[in-house]
Structure 1
Amino acid sequence: MVKVILAEKPSVAKNIAEALKIRGRNDGYYEGNGYIITWAFGHLLQLYDAKDYDEKMAVWKMENFPFIPQAFKYKVKCDAKNRDKLDSGAQKQLKTIKFLMKRDDIDGIISACDFDREGQLIGDSIIYTIKTDKPVYRLLLNEWTPAEVLRGLENIQPNIELRPLLDAGVSRQWADWAIGINLTSVATLKYQKGKGKALNIGRVLLPTLKIIYDRDKEIESFVPENYYKLQAIFKTKDEQEYEGTYIEGKEEKFKSKETLETIQQSLIDKSAFVSDKQVQKKNEYPPYLFNLSNLQGYITNKYKGWTSDKVLKVAQTLYEKKFITYPRTASAALEESLVGKTAKVLETLSKDLPYKDEIKFVKSKRIFDNSKVESHSAIVPTYLIPKQLSADEAQVYQAIKNRFIMQFMPVAEYEETRIETKINNIDLKGLFISKGKVQLVEGWKKVENIQSKDTLLPLVQVQDQVELVKHEIISQVTKPPKHHTEKTLLRVMETCGKNYEGDGESEEDVFAILSGFSIGTPATRAETIKKLKDVGYIEMQNKNLLCTDLGRRLVDTFPVKDLFNLEFTGRLEKSLFDIEKRNFSKKDFLQLIFDFTAKSVETIKNEKDIIINEVSTQVKTKESLGKCPLCGHAVIEGQKGFGCSNWKNGCKYVIWKNDKYLAAMKKKPTKTMVKALLKNGVASVKGLTSKKGNKFDALLRYEKNPDNEYFSWKMEFANNEQQKPVNSEKADGAANTAN
């Protein structure tokens, strides 16, 4: 008999097939060695739209809301470009999966979708919509290496045991549908003038917007204040100088300059002595292993041009290529069962490192701790070493690999010296403090060549007399908080703002948070930030995230304030987490959501009519690149080429973007080239590639053939040596180009 394995994506199905040494690929599946491996493309099914339940919902009318279906239903997902059509690829693959599952020789189904809420939902929605009577199992893996696939297949579990994970996934999906469909529709009807993009309202979207809004307001309302420090320079007997800052109690910043001026006057012609000296050796531990939020924060902060969404996509690619473990994790520690496997991975990765002799495997509670693992362990490399990576993949992989190696390097050590200096013959409330720091052991910092700045203090002993060389009052101004970056925003979302301290790197803070209490999940936070940009609620300036005017008006006006509340959203996410852990019921959660949705709709309806967003209905005209040489109308850029805007009346002028003549020389037509051709009849093109691979420059003309209505390219060189005309691809179908 044969078992069907359903993977979430074709790339994962390929990994499983390779592990099972199956080479026979058919249309939509692999088969061999007692298994059939087929795949989804992520979600093949989606929830019904409101209009699928009731035709009247095809047009948004205030009186039709709130709308909550009696029972939620699924359909084949819509085409991405046309929501009125089904996705033909999804439809075809679903038929393939159904055919395979219904075969007489099949004695079981194995869901091999990602081990998380979303993966469980994807697999179960397909399997149970097809309605199989075959037993269903679950393959639970954290990586797709051959060894793990084979081990996992020996330990498959009955799928029914994952029902709480499905309940959490369904609850999240239905809740977001109910809140999103109802409140987006009603808010758009109430607060938007003109037709266009809807005014997006979401359970995770709005509290995230509010975080950025609050920081912007905090910065705007910030009033800078002056403060003062008293600093002095002391000289030892052997002519060495050191600096000290005056401190009373724990206060070194003084609002009153006069207070310090009085003290400064008393310092004139005085000497001093070392009243105390403390030297301590301290350890510096490496930062914890990456979870997804910390990986996104690290990469977006370190490299230009990265977003958290891009980091997730690249990490997902590395996961599907078997080079790293599951990336959508909230954990920064490893399960204790992974000790032996981790030691082998470390041995493999350490072989060629210049500091390999310093790497020592240790079973540390800081690395292996079941109490700090939620569903998935931290992101670490697998035993498979990549031979070739793209530049983006290399940056993410190297960060994950380095962070992993750091855990098994020596602890960095430094010596911290604290000197207290008192002024002779004055009864001051405070004294001068000097701090020094010297790195003793580089340790894990070698991995990324992290340079530590040493602050050296002279060698002095308690009661040593020192000379007071100089003293001055330094004037400084308090600084406003910094704008949020993706790094700091992700941290607030991860912890719902609890124990959050600016740019702090303390993962200990994260572990202190009640499990599951957050905004969104590791898998959805990047998508939320991206959507906030896409719908125009926030914008990026360098690495900073700022609220747009539309985003501000929405926060100021939208009356359902619970949706902006981090505590409220955190409790909802905690409830979903509790459903996974069998501590809360799907039924109670959904009733809570449906009641909240109905109440929110009524709240919006009863508010005053205010315009938050006015959508311009003016049609955007396309840029004219020049006059058509055939009919004189404007030539414009279309999706597939640069064509005449008079195509409806039969004008055939077009330069295809995939023009074969140019493609043979590794070039594509550009706006600049087309403008030059239309204006001057000739375009200077640089960097063409010959058949032998040599680069050259030339003048190109695009001229009508004398015996038909099509055009051909002609090439000229600086010495006017002219090649024979070469027919370009026939320009029929120009009508489709300019649209």
Structure 2
Amino acid sequence: MSKLILAEKPSVARNIASAVGSKIKRDGYIEGNGYFITWAFGHLLELYDCKDYDPKMRSWRMEYFPYIPEKFKYKVKTSPKNKNKRDAGAYKQLKVIDSLVKRKDVTEIVSAVDYDREGELISTLIWDYLKVKKPIYRMLINEWTKEEIHRGMKELKTNEEMKKLQDAGVSRQLADWVIGINFTSAATLKFAQGKGNILNIGRVLLPTLKIIYDRDKEIEKFVPQDYFKLRAKFINDSAQYDGIYFEGKTDKFDDKEKLKEISKEVKNKQGEIIKKKVERKKQYPPYLFNLSNLQGFVTSKYNGWTSDKVLKVAQSLYEKKLITYPRTASIALEESLKDRAKKVLNILKKGLPYENEIKFTTSSRIFNNKKVESHSAIIPTYVIPKRLTEDEKKVYEAIKNRFIAQFMAAAQFDHTEIITKVETEGGNRLFMSKGKILVKEGWLKIEGSNAKDELLPNVGKGQLVMVNGTKVESKKTKPPKKHTEKTLLKVMENCGKHVSKEEKEDSEEILQAILSGYSIGTPATRADTIKRLKRIGYIGARGKSLYATEKGVKLVETFPIKELFDLDYTGRLEKALSDIEKGKFNKDEFLNHIFDFTIKGVKVISNDKDIIIKGGKKSSRGSTKQDIEVLGKCPQCGHDIIEGKKGFGCSNWRNGCKFVVWKNDKYLASMKKKATKTMVKKLLKDKKVKVKGLTSKKGNKFDAILSYEKNKENDYYSWKMEFEK
């Protein structure tokens, strides 16, 4: 008698076949040693379209909506190239699975799809569609190593035990279909104009768009405030350092004239160090990666990466048995994984220059059942990679290093504060100096640190110093920064819920405890949501920054069903799905709410005022014309500087602005250099840029500081060179 095992993808099927000893490759499956291992290609089935239920739905008319079938039906998924035809590959593979199910020698069926809501949905729909009567079991494992597959086969669950997860998967799919189909159709009929201008409406799409819109508006409404600081330079025979004037708890002042007076008072006066405080603080490594944190880490570290790309690369590593399940929301490991983690650590640390500093520990920061939601955090397996692409290396190294860092000592810093008192006729003037020195590297040896040490001299309380110069610095408050994929994923993960100052000390842990299941989308879907928002033209990207397009802005400001933009409402829906999964909420109650909400919402749209929503033109690649990285502001007219084929020029050139830095600039070329994007950004920001590796006429290498200054006699610019003192 034989077992039939269904994997989610062919690559995973090969891993299972290797583990159970099946070696005979057939068309669509592998057999041997009492097993048949076959696979899906993700989803093989999809819900009927409206027109499949009723031919009249081929034409969109407002009176046909809302449309909610009495019974939802499924069909073989359609071809991505022709939506009127079924996908030939999916149909063929479904026939292979059906033929294996019907074999007389197959007595048991095992679902070995991914252990999550979507994986469960994939297999459930296949068994229901094929009307399978044979016993079905479920393999629940977190990685595709031989050891784990064997454990999973010994600890199979019955299909009945997976009912809650199946209900959650089906509820999610039906809710998204009902909301998506009805609101997209109604919104397009009411607010769209022109062929192909479809207004995509989705349960997860709209609140994600709203997050970006809100940040854009916050920046737009921001009014910079001027403030001032007084900096003094202190010196004695053995030391030199800076201090910032403060009163009470503030070192920022509105009154510039007041600081000028104090500056005059303290000039050339003697000061005394009245306090020196040195406090040693520990810095522990960041928590293990969940998917959102991994995506945020990689997209912020490397240019050109998106959260969708990180997920695809992580999925590839998972299917190659190199990492554990990537679509996780957890930042800790189950306590049952201690022995396995120890084995992995002992393999990975061999040969590292700091091997003797890596010591296994069972700390609750690493192993903690309370911080695990369905799947443990992402860690490497004991399988050592042999060949990886450059992209796979970056993601694998990030996961490996984060794992090893957990078992290294905390980094230690000496935080130093010095208060210098200067006595004047106006009273005692106090200046604060702060510095930080790394005294123990610990885990930073493997993951590094962006922190820059601010060194303070070795001075002590009671020492006398002289004020050797003062400066009143003019500052402006800065607006919030635009969202990046990293910051957006974080807001999606916790639905923007307020976390108190005290909670922020350990916010990852707090959020996991408070907001279990309360999010926008799931780790598996958030990357695709961001990608889709870009594709349909609701958001754009300039470098790493995201912004709402004209079409996205108009949709937020016009579409009347405001609940769909509400983070709290969307979070409650996602929480309900999470509770269905745990058996705390009823599937039928959830769907009845969705149906009722949709019926009322379509009526509101139908009765709303007529406003046309449309966006900017698209390029051949589908991005809006706005999706161009701005390098800085033009020093001539204040418009955006952007990159062209031959140079970095002003976007206001049509109106006569002549500012440009040519890529093959002759002056730079004479020193064997080309203008780069990084160089131009720095130049626009600081008015000067340090350029290394210039070549003199004699062939000697040298560094110089370059500025790009406007000629007095015309509107053109020329380079000026100076050297560091």
The TM-score with structure 2 as length reference comes to 0.82
Q: Report the Cα distance in structure 2 between the residues aligned to 1:390 and 1:499, rounded to whole angstroms.
A: 40
Q: Report the Cα distance in structure 1 between the residues aligned to 2:82 and 2:499, rounded to whole angstroms.
A: 43
1:175-194 residue CA offsets vs partner (Å, 9 max, x unmatched): 00000000000100111112
The letter for the 1-side match of 2:278 is V
The letter for the 2-side match of 1:446 is K
Secondary structure at 1:242 match in 2: strand
Q: Which residue of 1 aligns with 2:717?
A: none
Residue correspondence of structure 1 range 1-40 to structure 2 within 5 A: 1-40=1-40
Q: Report the Cα distance in structure 2 between the residues aligned to 1:309 and 1:243, rounded to whole angstroms.
A: 46
Q: Report the Cα distance in structure 1 between the residues aligned to 2:86 and 2:312, rounded to whole angstroms.
A: 26
Deviation at 1:499, TM superposition (A): 4.0
Residue correspondence of structure 1 range 442-457 to structure 2 within 5 A: 442-450=441-449, 452-457=451-456
Q: Report the Cα distance in structure 2 between the residues aligned to 1:85 and 1:335, rounded to whole angstroms.
A: 45
Q: 1:156 to 1:378 in 2, by over 3 A?
A: same
Q: Which residue of 2 aligns with 1:164?
A: 164
Residue correspondence of structure 1 range 190-269 to structure 2 within 5 A: 190-236=190-236, 238-269=237-268
Q: Report the Cα distance in structure 1 between the residues aligned to 2:616 and 2:342, rounded to whole angstroms.
A: 59
Deviation at 1:429, TM superposition (A): 7.7
Q: Which residue of 1 aligns with 2:569?
A: 568
The letter for the 1-side match of 2:446 is V
Q: Which residue of 1 aligns with 2:135?
A: 135
Secondary structure at 2:555 match in 1: helix
Conservation of the 8 A alpha-carbon contact between 1:194 and 1:616: no
The letter for the 1-side match of 2:580 is I
Deviation at 1:453, TM superposition (A): 2.6
Q: Report the Cα distance in structure 1 between the residues aligned to 2:545 and 2:487, rounded to whole angstroms.
A: 10
Conservation of the 8 A alpha-carbon contact between 2:268 and 2:469: no
1:147-204 residue CA offsets vs partner (Å, 9 max, x unmatched): 1001110100112111111111111100000000000001001111122152100000
1:617-640 residue CA offsets vs partner (Å, 9 max, x unmatched): 9x99xxxxxxxxxxxxxxxxxxxx
> Is structure 2 residue 342 aligned with structure 1 residue 343?
yes
Q: Report the Cα distance in structure 2 between the residues aligned to 1:456 and 1:539, rounded to whole angstroms.
A: 41
Q: Which residue of 1 aligns with 2:64?
A: 64
> Is structure 2 residue 358 aligned with structure 1 residue 364?
no
Q: Report the Cα distance in structure 1 between the residues aligned to 2:450 and 2:531, rounded to whole angstroms.
A: 34
Q: 1:351 to 1:572 in 2, by over 3 A?
A: same
The letter for the 2-side match of 1:63 is E
Deviation at 1:12, TM superposition (A): 0.8
Conservation of the 8 A alpha-carbon contact between 2:279 and 2:415: yes
Q: 1:241 to 1:208 in 2, by over 3 A?
A: same
Q: 1:429 to 1:160 in 2, by over 3 A?
A: farther
Q: Report the Cα distance in structure 2 between the residues aligned to 1:80 and 1:11, rounded to whole angstroms.
A: 22
Q: 1:115 to 1:374 in 2, by over 3 A?
A: same
CA RMSD of aligned residues (A): 2.2
Q: Which residue of 1 aligns with 2:291?
A: 292
Q: Which residue of 2 aligns with 1:545?
A: 546
Secondary structure at 1:3 match in 2: strand
Conservation of the 8 A alpha-carbon contact between 2:197 and 2:614: no
Residue correspondence of structure 1 range 635-674 to structure 2 within 5 A: none
Secondary structure at 2:152 match in 1: helix
Q: 1:505 to 1:396 in 2, by over 3 A?
A: farther
1:59-92 residue CA offsets vs partner (Å, 9 max, x unmatched): 1110000111111111111111111111121112
Q: Which residue of 2 aligns with 1:315?
A: 314
Q: 1:374 to 1:64 in 2, by over 3 A?
A: same
Q: Report the Cα distance in structure 1 between the residues aligned to 2:410 and 2:615, rounded to whole angstroms.
A: 58
Secondary structure at 2:524 match in 1: helix
Deviation at 1:269, TM superposition (A): 5.0
Residue correspondence of structure 1 range 186-585 to structure 2 within 5 A: 186-236=186-236, 238-424=237-423, 428=427, 431-450=430-449, 452-499=451-498, 507-508=508-509, 510-511=511-512, 513-585=514-586
The letter for the 1-side match of 2:108 is G
The letter for the 2-side match of 1:321 is K
Q: Which residue of 1 aligns with 2:597?
A: 596
Conservation of the 8 A alpha-carbon contact between 2:421 and 2:428: no
Secondary structure at 2:373 match in 1: coil
Deviation at 1:428, TM superposition (A): 4.6
Q: Report the Cα distance in structure 2 between the residues aligned to 1:107 and 1:17, rounded to whole angstroms.
A: 18
Q: Which residue of 2 aligns with 1:103?
A: 103
Q: Report the Cα distance in structure 1 between the residues aligned to 2:139 and 2:615, rounded to whole angstroms.
A: 50
1:356-375 residue CA offsets vs partner (Å, 9 max, x unmatched): 11111111111111111100
Deviation at 1:513, TM superposition (A): 4.0
Extract unaligned runs of 5+ from structure 1: 621-739
The TM-score with structure 1 as length reference comes to 0.81
Instruction: Out of 414-423 and 517-526, give the one that drifted further.
Output: 414-423
Instruction: Out of 567-576 and 265-274, give the one that drifted further.
Output: 265-274
Q: Report the Cα distance in structure 1 between the residues aligned to 2:513 and 2:614, rounded to whole angstroms.
A: 41
Deviation at 1:265, TM superposition (A): 3.8
The letter for the 2-side match of 1:606 is N
Conservation of the 8 A alpha-carbon contact between 2:184 and 2:199: yes
Q: Which residue of 2 aligns with 1:76?
A: 76
Conservation of the 8 A alpha-carbon contact between 1:192 and 1:614: no
Q: Report the Cα distance in structure 2 between the residues aligned to 1:430 and 1:70, rounded to whole angstroms.
A: 79
1:671-730 residue CA offsets vs partner (Å, 9 max, x unmatched): xxxxxxxxxxxxxxxxxxxxxxxxxxxxxxxxxxxxxxxxxxxxxxxxxxxxxxxxxxxx
Q: 1:616 to 1:499 in 2, by over 3 A?
A: closer
Q: Report the Cα distance in structure 1 between the residues aligned to 2:124 and 2:259, rounded to whole angstroms.
A: 71
Deviation at 1:241, TM superposition (A): 1.2
Instruction: Out of 546-555 and 512-521, give the one that drifted further.
Output: 512-521
Q: Report the Cα distance in structure 2 between the residues aligned to 1:458 and 1:506, rounded to whole angstroms.
A: 35
Conservation of the 8 A alpha-carbon contact between 1:499 and 1:509: no
Q: Report the Cα distance in structure 2 between the residues aligned to 1:530 and 1:430, rounded to whole angstroms.
A: 55
Q: 1:501 to 1:6 in 2, by over 3 A?
A: same
Conservation of the 8 A alpha-carbon contact between 2:517 and 2:574: yes
Secondary structure at 1:443 match in 2: coil
Residue correspondence of structure 1 range 599-638 to structure 2 within 5 A: 599-613=600-614
Deviation at 1:437, TM superposition (A): 1.3
Deviation at 1:471, TM superposition (A): 2.2
Q: 1:282 to 1:26 in 2, by over 3 A?
A: same
Conservation of the 8 A alpha-carbon contact between 2:323 and 2:378: yes
Q: Report the Cα distance in structure 1 between the residues aligned to 2:520 and 2:514, rounded to whole angstroms.
A: 12
Deviation at 1:140, TM superposition (A): 0.4
The letter for the 1-side match of 2:434 is K
The letter for the 2-side match of 1:144 is W
Secondary structure at 1:362 match in 2: coil
Deviation at 1:616, TM superposition (A): 9.3
Q: Report the Cα distance in structure 2 between the residues aligned to 1:336 and 1:450, rounded to whole angstroms.
A: 29
Secondary structure at 1:164 match in 2: helix
Q: 1:325 to 1:429 in 2, by over 3 A?
A: farther
Q: 1:428 to 1:37 in 2, by over 3 A?
A: farther
> Is structure 2 residue 93 aligned with structure 1 residue 93?
yes
Secondary structure at 1:322 match in 2: coil
Q: Report the Cα distance in structure 2 between the residues aligned to 1:562 and 1:522, rounded to whole angstroms.
A: 22
Q: Which has the larger radius of gyration?
A: 1
What is the aligned-residue identity percentage? 60
Conservation of the 8 A alpha-carbon contact between 1:445 and 1:451: no
The letter for the 1-side match of 2:369 is N
Deviation at 1:529, TM superposition (A): 0.3
